[in-house]
Amino acid sequence: MKKVKVLVLRTAGTNCNYETDYAFQLAGADVEQVHINRLIKGEKELSSYQILALPGGFAYGDDIAAGKILANELKYKLRDSIEKFIADGKLMIGICNGFQVMVKAGLLPGFNGISDIQEATLYNNDSGKFECRWVYLKAVENNKCVFTKNIKQLVYLPVAHGEGKFTTIDEGVLDKLESEGQAVFKYVDADGNLTGYPWNPNGSDRNIAGICDATGRIFGMMPHPERHISKYNHPRWTRENLDEEGDGLAIFRNAVEYAKGLLD
């Protein structure tokens, strides 16, 4: 039986590739870590995979702005293959730095495919410092995202970023994300209420922590689901009666289950 194939993209500065690789393996996929230069040179073909994952880290040292250089490589060197990948109904996920890359490459919000105009960004945290903490996320009802189907309404995941504030100069973008079911996760407190810092660790507009495109197949989020795939990742696992499976694993399992329908 064929297995879903996942490409975990890496480059200089990527540092969450192994965790992302392992999470997809636990979800039942075959995973390969591929340096972006191998795609650019044609040594690897994106079309051979059903899921493309952009993991966290600090691609190219986050020079210029977080994720911007890698975003430009995707946009100007791999656009044709990425557009075909999306047109073929395949999946993409960007986590933390990967989310920054997807937004700056025009892959998200993705109202009408890849945009040549950047419609949003991930900007410096309002706190003015790197935020490394566990946060609660509320899955927005009626969101269309493939990755969050039937997920727990309240999930607990870590963040680790300095430029995580989801923002836009156009309120209409935020309105459309919410009205179209593309605002997937929001930062909340332990009771599920929308509130400010430290529960919203970066000051994101409308507490948005993750979004998808209009198809629901392209998804980006700042918190790290790959860092909570087992109860032993949880900071209070010795003190609480937790499920064996961490909150983040469902995201990877949903992707793999959906992608099985793409296999020949």
Say if residue 198 is preceded by a cis peptide, omega within 30 of 0: yes
Q: Please identify, in words, the CATH class of the domain defined by 5-262.
A: alpha beta
Q: Which residues of 19-32 are buried (b: 16+ CB within 10 A; e: fewer)?
A: bbbebbebbebebe
Whether 226 is catalytic? yes
Q: Is residue 8 within 8 Å of residue 21, measured between CB atoms? A: yes
> Which of 73, 131, 163, 226 is an active site residue?
226
Please, what is the average pLDDT of the chain?
97
Token pair recorded at residue 98: 């990967």
What percentage of residues in the chain have a pLDDT greater than 90? 97
Quick one: pLDDT band at residue 104, thresholds 50, 70, 90?
very high
Is pLDDT at 264 greater than 70 in this prediction?
no
Token pair recorded at residue 154: 């309240």
CA-wise closest residue to 218 among 32, 53, 3, 41:
53
Give the other-Cβ count within 10 Å of 191's Cβ.
Answer: 9
Phi/psi for 261 (5° steps) reads -70, -10
> Which of 119, 131, 224, 234 is an active site residue?
224
Token pair recorded at residue 33: 């870590």
Residues 6+ apart with CB under 8 A from 128: none
For CA atoms 70, 76, 81, 82, give the dihedral sign.
positive
d(Cα 249, Cα 254) in Å, to the nearest integer? 9
> Which of 96, 119, 131, 163 is an active site residue?
96
Q: Is residue 218 within 8 Å of residue 86, measured between CB atoms? A: yes
Token pair recorded at residue 169: 């100069």
pLDDT computed for residue 142 by the predictor: 84
pLDDT computed for residue 143 by the predictor: 86
Q: What is the pLDDT of residues 2-22, one digit of tens each?
A: 899 999 999 999 999 999 999
CA-based R_g, the chain, Å: 17
Q: What is the pLDDT of residues 212-248, one digit of tens each?
A: 999 999 999 999 999 999 999 999 999 999 999 999 9
* CB-count exposure of residue 117 (10 Å: 0-12, 13-18, 19+): exposed
Q: How far is residue 226 from each of residues 16, 83, 95, measured CA to CA in Å?
A: 8, 26, 9
Quick one: pLDDT band at residue 1, thresholds 50, 70, 90?
confident
pLDDT computed for residue 66 by the predictor: 96
